[in-house]
Amino acid sequence: MSRMMRSVAVAVALVALGCGAAGAEQQPAKGKTMTEVLAASQPSDWRRLDPDNTMYLDFAAGRVIIELAPGYAPQHVANMKILLRQHYFDGLSILRVHDNYVVQWGDPDAGDKDKAKPFGEAKRSVAGEFSQAIAKQPFVHLPDGDVYAPQVGWSGGFPVARDPKQGQTWLTHCYGMVGVGRDNAADSGSGAELYVVLGHAPRHLDRNVTLVGRVVQGMELLAALPRGSGALGFYEKPEQRIALKQVRLGSELPEAQRSRIELLRTDTPTFTALIETRRNRHDEWYLSQAGKVELCNVPLPSRQP
Amino acid sequence: MSRMMRSVAVAVALVALGCGAAGAEQQPAKGKTMTEVLAASQPSDWRRLDPDNTMYLDFAAGRVIIELAPGYAPQHVANMKILLRQHYFDGLSILRVHDNYVVQWGDPDAGDKDKAKPFGEAKRSVAGEFSQAIAKQPFVHLPDGDVYAPQVGWSGGFPVARDPKQGQTWLTHCYGMVGVGRDNAADSGSGAELYVVLGHAPRHLDRNVTLVGRVVQGMELLAALPRGSGALGFYEKPEQRIALKQVRLGSELPEAQRSRIELLRTDTPTFTALIETRRNRHDEWYLSQAGKVELCNVPLPSRQP
């Protein structure tokens, strides 16, 4: 099997590693592999998820963990927390899996006033939070360019873009990002219907949708769901829909039921060194090095401590 | 359901449409949607697959159709045709599904001399065909830029990149592209082990691997396969592997068993108009237009006539 094991490069999705080794260094590494950079990381390079900004989605295939981004979508995240505390999502369904695009869940009866699940204290309409003032947000710049935006990089662990002329910054539609389904009107979303990006980043959706977070664990469970055969990947028959068993805010779960996952900080020399390992691969298999890396191709590593 | 149906944009994967309507125009359209551009296409905008450069892969989930690219990988495609005519792939398996990266198939016993399936007349080693001379290849330029290459565009229906200074052009690792697994040596691939890109385009693989074609139908079947839990997404248990029932060159199949799929030519004003509909979306749902489009986000439409 060794021949095949080496056939197509190294794992670039979620990486789980032990704690920082002795003799680790903080300088950006030249000539290192990603594995080496992560092995040399320090405890301070990692952060825990904030249970009050983490969403746990349990369904038949397993658990999906989403980190929320209140800094970029304060009103939507606040509304989602109201829905979450009411256990609004329990028993709703994955309604749509559109290949190379999105998986989406919500209330299948949302359009039927008599059958739709009540929103309780939550709002049915939240003004679009498509971008934010640059001044409010931290930013780590990726200097390799971008087709869609003047600048790209990371902010608090999320991939972002910026337009300094307009003074605006926004979350970007990379693989695993979570967005708010909406109707044609900018304020027609609420956070009750959510989608997750799968496939090649649909960056044309940037600034058209409120992004509210990112899947930090379990993306492979969503990505492997059967594609819907209806228009836009909707499941055509109700029995094809996939039920959500329980969806909870982390702070509502007993401590023992929360994940202890840690995420690599994006504002550290270790992350800068990791970017360099993605620009120029020093793994033995590579014959040619790209010299650059695209925003959505930089992994955001996690680990179980 | 209408609220949800409109929630996240239009279908951008495979598009199946009826034949060109009366009054169709050939000028690049401004302000049109992709649906309108395709509805106005002419019969001459479409091409049939060449059965001698089409691979039909049948497995339990259905059929995957791959268009081969002999212009970019003549030696590998020739070797694959020898393997195909020997029915080499029948009974082999999908061995690996690596989330947001690749699905890969081949001989699970390839590393065992006693059990490996014989290659017959085919070569076990073919020199890497990582790029080609620009002069030999047609090219339709996408002027929106690219992180990884000086120029990108399309060549005979395939996404490509170019470096005019080096005089080289190569196929790019967009969603659905098919590549040749290899060992560390440049000539260690043969075409007996193939992978298909799923997830965000791993463009750092460009010029490191011989790309031999593109999935033109059935990508959603490969993309929905369970991810492997082993290193690099390999299935850990033999019983998890997914058998290939029959893999054939189109010209070997009886006419009735071949697909009548047609592909939109990429060297036509209709395709140029389609690119414009992806840069600036005139569908009612969009509030903000990207103004540009990335190579791997431009769909390559197909239809069943």
Do residue A12 and residue B145 have CB atoms under 8 angstroms apart? no
Cβ-in-10-Å burial (0-12, 13-18, 19+) of B44 comes to: exposed
Do residue A4 and residue B199 have CB atoms under 8 angstroms apart? no
Nearest CB partner across the interface for B148, out of A4, A100, A290: A290
On the question of pLDDT at B300 being above 80, the answer is yes
Residue from A1, A3, A5, A8 whose CB has the most chain B CBs within 10 Å, to mutate: A8
How do B62-68 and B262-264 pair as beta strands? Answer: unpaired
- Per CB-CB distance under 8 Å, the chain A contacts of B12 are 100-101, 202
pLDDT value at position A13?
31
Cα nearest neighbour of B108 on chain A? A1
- The candidate with the shortest Cα–Cα distance to A157, out of A184, A132, A176, is A176
On the question of pLDDT at A180 being above 60, the answer is yes
Residue A267 structure tokens: 């504002």
Looking at the complex, report in whole angstroms how far the Cα of residue B110 sits from the nearest Cα belonging to chain A: 7
d(CA B289, CA A295): 20
CA angle B138, B141, B146 (to 5 degrees): 125
- Per CB-CB distance under 8 Å, the chain A contacts of B146 are 147
- Ramachandran quadrant class, A91 (left: phi over 0; alpha: psi -120 to 50; beta: rest): left
Who contacts A172 (Cβ-Cβ below 8 Å, separation ≥6)?
A: A148, A149, A152, A159, A160, A161, A201, A203, A206, A211, A295, A296
d(CA A289, CA B208): 8
d(CA A87, CA B93): 43
Q: Mean pLDDT throughout A71-89?
A: 98
DSSP-derived letter for residue B49 is: P
d(CA B292, CA B279): 5
Do residue B174 and residue A200 have CB atoms under 8 angstroms apart? yes
d(CA B43, CA A82): 54
CATH number of the structural domain B51-111+118-257: 2.40.100.10
d(CA A202, CA B13): 12
d(CA A177, CA A186): 19
Residue A283: band (very low, low, confident or very high) from pLDDT cuts 50, 70, 90: confident
User: Residue A132's beta-bridge partner residues?
Assistant: A169
On the question of pLDDT at A271 being above 80, the answer is yes
Q: Longest Cα pair distance anywhere in chain A, in angstroms?
A: 64
End-to-end CA distance of chain B: 30
- The candidate with the shortest Cα–Cα distance to B263, out of B4, B6, B14, B8, is B14
Who contacts B155 (Cβ-Cβ below 8 Å, separation ≥6)?
A: B71, B72, B137, B138, B139, B140, B169, B266
Q: Which amino acid is at B45?
A: D
- Per CB-CB distance under 8 Å, the chain B contacts of A294 are 147-148, 203
Nearest CB partner across the interface for B224, out of A188, A225, A289: A225
pLDDT per residue as tens digits for the range A227-252: 999 999 999 999 999 999 999 999 99
Looking at the complex, report in whole angstroms how far the Cα of residue B3 sits from the nearest Cα belonging to chain A: 6
Distances (CA, A) of B114 to A6, A169, B83, B117, B244: 21, 59, 19, 9, 21
pLDDT value at position B24?
39
d(CA B110, CA A3): 8
DSSP code string of A202-237: -GGGTTTS-EEEEEEE-HHHHHTSPPP-SGGGB-SS
Please give the CATH architecture assigned to the domain spanning A51-112+120-257: Beta Barrel (2.40)
On the question of pLDDT at A211 being above 90, the answer is yes
Looking at the complex, report in whole angstroms how far the Cα of residue A46 sits from the nearest Cα belonging to chain B: 23
Residue A11: band (very low, low, confident or very high) from pLDDT cuts 50, 70, 90: very low
d(CA A141, CA A213): 20
> pTM of this prediction?
0.91
pLDDT value at position A31?
87
Instruction: Tell me if A103 sits within 8 A of A96, measured CB to CB.
Output: yes
Residue B152, phi then psi, degrees to nearest 5: -135, 160
Three-class DSSP labels, A147-190: CCCCEEEEECCEEEEEECCCCEEEECCCCCEEEECCCCCCCCEC
On the question of pLDDT at A9 being above 70, the answer is no
- Strands in B107-235 per DSSP E: 132-133, 140-142, 151-155, 158-163, 168-171, 177-180, 194-197, 211-217
On the question of pLDDT at A165 being above 80, the answer is yes
On the question of pLDDT at B94 being above 90, the answer is yes
pLDDT value at position B287?
94
- Per CB-CB distance under 8 Å, the chain A contacts of B288 are 130, 206-208
**Helix (H/G/I), strand (E/B), else coil: A255:** helix
On the question of pLDDT at B21 being above 50, the answer is no
- Ramachandran quadrant class, A87 (left: phi over 0; alpha: psi -120 to 50; beta: rest): left
Residue from B109, B117, B180, B200 whose CB has the most chain A CBs within 10 Å, to mutate: B200
- Per CB-CB distance under 8 Å, the chain B contacts of A296 are 200
- Per CB-CB distance under 8 Å, the chain B contacts of A9 are 202, 204-205
Q: Mean pLDDT throughout B141-161?
A: 98
Q: Mean pLDDT throughout A128-144?
A: 95
Cβ-in-10-Å burial (0-12, 13-18, 19+) of B94 comes to: buried
Distance of CA A149 to the CA centre of its chain: 19
Nearest CB partner across the interface for A99, out of B104, B145, B219: B219
- Per CB-CB distance under 8 Å, the chain A contacts of B293 are 147, 204
Residue B30: band (very low, low, confident or very high) from pLDDT cuts 50, 70, 90: low
pLDDT per residue as tens digits for the range B175-225: 999 999 999 999 999 999 999 999 999 999 999 999 999 999 999 999 999
Residue B305: band (very low, low, confident or very high) from pLDDT cuts 50, 70, 90: confident
Do residue A209 and residue B147 have CB atoms under 8 angstroms apart? no
Which of A136-140, A177-181, B3-7 is the least confident region?
Answer: B3-7
For chain B, give the percent of residues with pLDDT over 90: 87
Mean pLDDT of chain B: 91
Residue B267 structure tokens: 């060297």
- List chain A domain ranges: 2-48+265-303, 51-112+120-257
Three-class DSSP labels, B183-219: CCCCCCECCCCEEEECCCCCHHHCCCCCEEEEEEECH
- Per CB-CB distance under 8 Å, the chain B contacts of A192 are none
Nearest CB partner across the interface for A7, out of B4, B5, B104: B104
Distances (CA, A) of A134 to A75, A137, A169, A171, B79: 18, 6, 5, 12, 54
